[in-house]
A = this chain, B = another copy of it.
Amino acid sequence: MLSKKTKYGLKALTYIAKSEGDNPVQISEISKSENIPQKFLESIMLTLRKSGFLGSKKGKHGGYYLIKEPAQIKMADVMRVLEGPIAMVPCVSLNFYEKCDDCPDEHECSVHKLMIQVRDNTLKVLRNNTLEDLSGS
């Protein structure tokens, strides 16, 4: 299941990418337009800023803006920050690898084999899609 956090984060990024002009976009505006609880969205935006996807401007008329071009923002990277590992089991994760407690040898593990395939195909999609793809028409 995709968490609400990730879902809201992706929607917010898309909203900012779509909003033309150089003015920063306010949380309150995104919150109203996308039906996202404002306080919850606040913490998500903070995460996205701290991980280098967004810049912010404080005070009146402040808000958030993209730091990179939408075409440079890969969904795989956003997902890793908001949702965590893309792999369904830690033992097939590229960025968050962990050995399983059970499983003496993961190369013999049937689940391992299957989940590598799932990971590879999911990654393919998430690497091919950028924020530009999400916000385009």
**Which positions in A face B, CB cutoff 8 Å?**
1-2, 7, 10-11, 14, 34-36, 75, 85, 88-89, 101-103, 109-111, 113-115, 117-118, 121-122, 124-126, 129, 133-135
Contacts and interface: CB of A to CB of B under 8 A. Distances in A.
B101 A113 contact: no
Nearest to A121: B121
Contacts of A11: 102, 109-111
Q: How many copies of this chain are found per oligomer?
A: 2
B111 A121 contact: no
Contacts of A35: 101-103
A110 B122 contact: no
A1 B88 contact: yes
Given A7-B111, A35-B103, A118-B126, 20 more contacts: A1-B85, A1-B88, A1-B89, A2-B89, A2-B111, A10-B114, A11-B110, A11-B111, A14-B110, A35-B102, A36-B102, A110-B135, A111-B134, A114-B126, A114-B129, A114-B133, A114-B134, A117-B125, A118-B125, A121-B121
